[in-house]
Amino acid sequence: MMNLPQITPYIFFTGKGGVGKTSLASATAIKLADEGKSVLLISTDPASNLKEVLETEVAEKITPINGIENLHAVNIDPEMSAEEYRNRVISPMEDILPAKDIEKMREELSGACTTEIAAFDEFARYVAGDEDDQPYDVIIFDTAPTGHTLRLLELPAAWSDFIESNPDGASCIGPSSALKTSQERYKKVVEKLQDEGSTTIYLVSRPDSSALREADRSGKELEEMGLANQVLLINGYFEPVDESDPFAIKMKKRADDTLENMPDRLKKMEQLVFPLRPYNLLGLDRLRTVFEPLDKEQIKQNSQSILTEQHESELPDLDSLVDDLSSEKDHGLIMTMGKGGVGKTIIAAAVAFKLAQRGYSVHLTTTDPAAHLLDQIGELDIPENLTVDRIDPDKEKQAYIEKVLNHRGKDKTEEELKLLREDLESPCTEEVAVFQAFSKAIQQAKRKFVVVDTAPTGHTLLLLDTTGSYHKEVLRNSKMGTDKLKTPYMYLQDPEYSKLLIVALPETTPITEAARLQDDLRRSNIEPYAWIANQSMSATEISDPLLKQRAAEEVPLLEEIETKHAKKLYAIPWIAEELVLENLLKERIEKQTKTV
């Protein structure tokens, strides 16, 4: 039995989407409740599937969990909280500002920052509650706030005056009067979070380099805010059941190598490692196994029927995708989209290389750190007809911030400048800045294939369009007729010119998040071309019983994508080798050799 570290009254789980935060948070809640503690589990995850995980209808009100006497849960819907928050911000302004400014404010308050602030506003009330009336021994939060959110909440109460006198100012929080919790109570919340005897932060990751980098980044950010009591949870570590399966052996080696090379800060932290299970962690019985060691003999017995069945994907592969993308034109814009850690960069690079192998002129541009991309390329020769460059998000963002400060910062107080600068540190700002750099690459797609990793979100595109930051500004200042002028935003809306690819892992949470991203794009009148199920176990040649069971559980999820979400769906197998791109391209070369 695996033991948890010292239990504090407040426990936060944070990490990339799809790493297993909800599963581990729920399993921890069940374990503590089984041990006799009174536990409240609070989820603010927009992709939360607590209903399926806990087999109980969890909603906006605190609900007892079926079959567990000491456990309650509540699911704070961040979108609903954000909409209520937007209404509280905008209602007092409706009789003061013109309709166009109201529209602009609503869109500015539609981003991830506002959603996070509104959700934190909700669950802060649980932390700031009267300790004498606290009915729970432990409150578990899935997920933790970011350092950016906490910094915004620490800013002075100049919010109201600032937003009222500058309707084009802060784009994240709006006036402080819209918050349910006062700044004084926020101060108490932050003090509790900073108290190591009160709060533990669990940084959740998989044995995957991008997830570990995100855990390291968020851990540093929270530590800077004084939340230093952190524990690293490595979820989904694979231990082969069939030692003769070459794929299984390679998969374990890759995980071991990744963990060996994790950031030094994470290496020094207290760690817990949770093995990859043969099933998705849905239901109380399965969740109770999370802290138990793997029973390999039991897995072999349970796999007898599965091993005799075929669970191989018949979905078209990456080569089929490239064939389809180049079937009608020798140019165009191709963009990979998706949440962090799903493999957007690798897929963008693979598509670019495969198009170049077919003789097309291709340009690949990415926001991924150049060294990481070059590591993935390895010793591969870059074809003469393929050019690669990198847009530096930090550089673009800082240049954009300085431009905005120079434009908006005149005659402002130090407090107002501090608020504006902190507001501009939001992820939305980076997306706007990067999109302007992307715009140059978009024009090249008139004469060659341009593959971009990654596209901006629908919110960013709509924000640009609504505020006139780019789209309307171009139209307004151009001497060309609107029937002849085509802005980058319009190119993205043109399905003949642009093909947007949504990348997801064939797992519940990543699929839910990808579907939300697609809805966001459609709100901007942009229709994705296809979905890609990356790291698909059912598209991989395996004999290991544990992996076979996972492949079987993947099948209904792929069916869900096909029937509910994607117009086209392609599947890419799990690559166990470290140089993923090189092996994706080798597969094509081997197929060509066999054909010859």
Among candidate residues 546, 52, 480, the one with its CA nearest the CA of residue 294? 546
**Residues 390, 393, 399, 404, CA torsion sign:** positive
> Could you confirm whether 45 is annotated as catalytic?
yes
- Catalytic one among 8, 14, 23, 218? 23
Among candidate residues 68, 72, 75, 8, the one with its CA nearest the CA of residue 40? 72
Amino acid of residue 210:
S
- Catalytic one among 115, 509, 512, 540? 509
Amino acid of residue 468:
G
- Catalytic one among 15, 16, 17, 22? 22
> Could you confirm whether 18 is annotated as catalytic?
yes
> Could you confirm whether 129 is annotated as catalytic?
no
Query: Could you tell me if 269 and 231 are in contact, meaning their C-beta atoms sit under 8 angstroms apart?
Result: yes
- Catalytic one among 8, 16, 17, 21? 21
Half-sphere exposure of 188 (CA within 13 A, CB side): 12
Amino acid of residue 404:
V
165-169: long-range contacts, CB 8 A cutoff, minimum separation 24: 166/408, 166/416, 167/93, 167/97, 167/101, 167/104, 167/105, 168/104, 168/408, 168/467, 169/408, 169/419, 169/420, 169/423
Amino acid of residue 19:
V
- Catalytic one among 15, 17, 18, 147? 18
Return d(Cα 222, Cα 216) in angstroms, integer.
Answer: 10
> Could you confirm whether 130 is annotated as catalytic?
no
Query: Could you tell me if 510 and 479 are in contact, meaning their C-beta atoms sit under 8 angstroms apart?
Result: no
> Could you confirm whether 468 is annotated as catalytic?
no
> Could you confirm whether 81 is annotated as catalytic?
no
- Catalytic one among 26, 45, 63, 181? 45
Amino acid of residue 27:
A
Q: Collect all residues with Cβ–Cβ distance below 8 Å to 549 and sequence separation of at least 6.
A: 278, 279, 299, 302, 303, 306
The pair of three-digit structure tokens given for residue 63, joined into one six-digit string: 């609900």
> Could you confirm whether 20 is annotated as catalytic?
yes
- Catalytic one among 15, 17, 20, 343? 20
Query: Could you tell me if 62 and 96 are in contact, meaning their C-beta atoms sit under 8 angstroms apart?
Result: no
Q: Collect all residues with Cβ–Cβ distance below 8 Å to 342 and sequence separation of at least 6.
A: 18, 503, 504, 505, 510, 514, 534
Residues marked active site are found at: 18, 20-23, 45, 509
